[in-house]
A and B are shown apart, each in its own frame.
Chain A
Amino acid sequence: MKEEKTQVADIDRSLYDFRYEEDERDYLGSGITADIIKEISDEKGDADWMREFRLKSMEIYNKTPMVEWGPSIEGLDIDNIVTYIRTKSRMNTDWNDVPDDIKNTFEKLGIPQAERESLAGVGAQYDSELVYHNVRKEVAESGVVYTDLESAMHDERYAEMIHTHFMKLVPPTDHKFAALHGAVWSGGSFVYVPKGVRLEIPLQSYFRLNAKGAGQFEHTLIILEEDSYLHFIEGCSAPKYYEAGLHAGCVELYVGKNATLRYSTIENWSKNMYNLNTKRALVDEGGKIEWVSGSFGSHVSYLYPMSILNGRGARAEFTGITFAGEGQNLDTGAKIVHNAPDTSSYMNTKSISKSGGISTFRSAVTVNEKAAGSKSAVSCESLMLDRISRSDTIPVMDIRTDKADVGHEAKIGRISDETVFYLMSRGLSEEEAKAMIVRGFADNVSKELPLEYAVEMNNLIGLEMKGSIG
Chain B
Amino acid sequence: MSQLLEIKDLTAGVEEKELLHSVSLTVGAGETHVLMGPNGAGKSTLGSVIMGSPEYAVSGGRLFFEGEDITDDSADKRAKRGIFLSFQNPVEIAGVTLSEFLRNALEQVTGKHLKLWDFKKKLRSCMEILGMDASYADRDLNVGFSGGEKKKAEILQLLVLEPKLAILDETDSGLDVDAVKTVSAGIDEYKKRTGGSLIVITHNTKILEALRVDKTHILAAGQIAAEGGAELVDEVITNGFEKYIKGGK
The answer to the question of A417 belonging to the interface, with a C-beta cut-off of 8 Å to chain B, is yes
**Complex contact A436–B104 (CB within 8 A):** yes
Q: A421-B53, A424-B76, A427-B76 are in contact. Are A442 and B95 (CB under 8 A)?
A: yes
Chain A residues near B87: list those with CB within 8 A.
Answer: 422, 425
Size of interface on A: residues with Cβ below 8 Å to B: 24
**Complex contact B91–A425 (CB within 8 A):** no
Chain B residues near A440: list those with CB within 8 A.
Answer: 93-96, 140
Q: How many angstroms from the CA of A429 to the CA of B109 in the assembled complex?
A: 11
Q: How many angstroms from the CA of A439 to the CA of B140 in the assembled complex?
A: 12
Chain B residues near A437: list those with CB within 8 A.
Answer: 93, 96
**Complex contact B108–A432 (CB within 8 A):** yes
Q: A436-B96, A436-B104, A440-B140 are in contact. Are A428 and B91 (CB under 8 A)?
A: no
Chain A residues near B74: list those with CB within 8 A.
Answer: 424, 429-430
Chain B residues numbered 59-96 whose CB sits less than 8 Å from any CB in chain A: 74-76, 78-80, 84-85, 87, 90-91, 93-96
The answer to the question of B161 belonging to the interface, with a C-beta cut-off of 8 Å to chain A, is yes
Q: A417-B54, A440-B140 are in contact. Are A425 and B95 (CB under 8 A)?
A: no
**Complex contact A436–B108 (CB within 8 A):** no
Chain B interface extent, by class: 20 to 34
Residue of A nearest to B86 (CB): A425
Chain A residues numbered 394-433 whose CB sits less than 8 Å from any CB in chain B: 416-419, 421-430, 432-433
**Complex contact A441–B109 (CB within 8 A):** no
Chain A residues numbered 415-470 whose CB sits less than 8 Å from any CB in chain B: 416-419, 421-430, 432-433, 436-437, 439-444
Q: Specify which of A425, A428, A432 is in contact with B52 (CB 8 Å cutoff).
A: A425
Shortest CB-to-CB span from A324 to chain B, Å, is 19
Residue of B nearest to A436 (CB): B96
Q: How many angstroms from the CA of A440 to the CA of B80 in the assembled complex?
A: 23
**Complex contact A422–B90 (CB within 8 A):** yes
**Complex contact A416–B76 (CB within 8 A):** no
Q: How many angstroms from the CA of A422 to the CA of B91 in the assembled complex?
A: 7
Residue of B75, B94, B96, B109 most packed against chain A (CB within 10 A): B75
Chain B residues near A441: list those with CB within 8 A.
Answer: 94-95
Shortest CB-to-CB span from B53 to chain A, Å, is 5
Q: Specify which of A430, A436, A439, A444 is in contact with B76 (CB 8 Å cutoff).
A: A430
Shortest CB-to-CB span from B114 to chain A, Å, is 13
Chain A residues near B96: list those with CB within 8 A.
Answer: 436-437, 439-440, 443
**Complex contact A419–B91 (CB within 8 A):** yes
Shortest CB-to-CB span from A352 to chain B, Å, is 12
Q: How many angstroms from the CA of A442 to the CA of B93 in the assembled complex?
A: 12
**Complex contact B80–A427 (CB within 8 A):** yes
**Complex contact B104–A428 (CB within 8 A):** yes
Chain B residues numbered 81-138 whose CB sits less than 8 Å from any CB in chain A: 84-85, 87, 90-91, 93-96, 101-102, 104-106, 108-109
Q: How many angstroms from the CA of A442 to the CA of B95 in the assembled complex?
A: 7
Shortest CB-to-CB span from A455 to chain B, Å, is 14
Chain A residues near B221: list those with CB within 8 A.
Answer: none
Chain B residues near A442: list those with CB within 8 A.
Answer: 95
Q: Specify which of A421, A427, A433, A443 is in contact with B94 (CB 8 Å cutoff).
A: A443
Chain B residues near A416: list those with CB within 8 A.
Answer: 91
Chain B residues near A425: list those with CB within 8 A.
Answer: 51-53, 75-76, 78-79, 84-85, 87
The answer to the question of B55 belonging to the interface, with a C-beta cut-off of 8 Å to chain A, is yes
Q: Specify which of B54, B95, B161 is in contact with A426 (CB 8 Å cutoff).
A: B161
Q: How many angstroms from the CA of A419 to the CA of B91 in the assembled complex?
A: 6
Shortest CB-to-CB span from B86 to chain A, Å, is 10
Residue of B nearest to A426 (CB): B105
Chain B residues near A424: list those with CB within 8 A.
Answer: 52, 74-76, 79
Q: A417-B55, A421-B53, A422-B87 are in contact. Are A427 and B95 (CB under 8 A)?
A: no
Chain A residues near B161: list those with CB within 8 A.
Answer: 426-427
Residue of A nearest to B89 (CB): A418
Shortest CB-to-CB span from A44 to chain B, Å, is 46
Chain A residues near B223: list those with CB within 8 A.
Answer: none
Shortest CB-to-CB span from A387 to chain B, Å, is 16
**Complex contact B93–A418 (CB within 8 A):** no
Q: A419-B91, A442-B95, A443-B96 are in contact. Are A428 and B55 (CB under 8 A)?
A: no
- Closest CB pairs A-B (n = 10): A440-B95, A443-B95, A427-B108, A424-B75, A426-B105, A440-B96, A427-B79, A427-B109, A424-B76, A422-B91
Task: Please list 17 pairs of residues, one from A and one from B, whose beta carbons are closer than 8 Å in the complex, sorted by A's number.
Answer: A417-B55, A418-B55, A421-B75, A425-B51, A426-B108, A426-B161, A427-B76, A427-B80, A427-B108, A428-B108, A430-B76, A432-B104, A436-B104, A439-B95, A440-B94, A441-B95, A444-B95
B residues apposed to A, CB below 8 Å = 51-55, 74-76, 78-80, 84-85, 87, 90-91, 93-96, 101-102, 104-106, 108-109, 140, 157, 161
**With contacts A421-B54, A425-B51, A444-B95 known, what are 13 further pairs, Cβ within 8 A?**
A417-B54, A419-B91, A421-B51, A421-B55, A425-B76, A425-B85, A425-B87, A426-B157, A427-B76, A439-B95, A441-B94, A441-B95, A443-B96
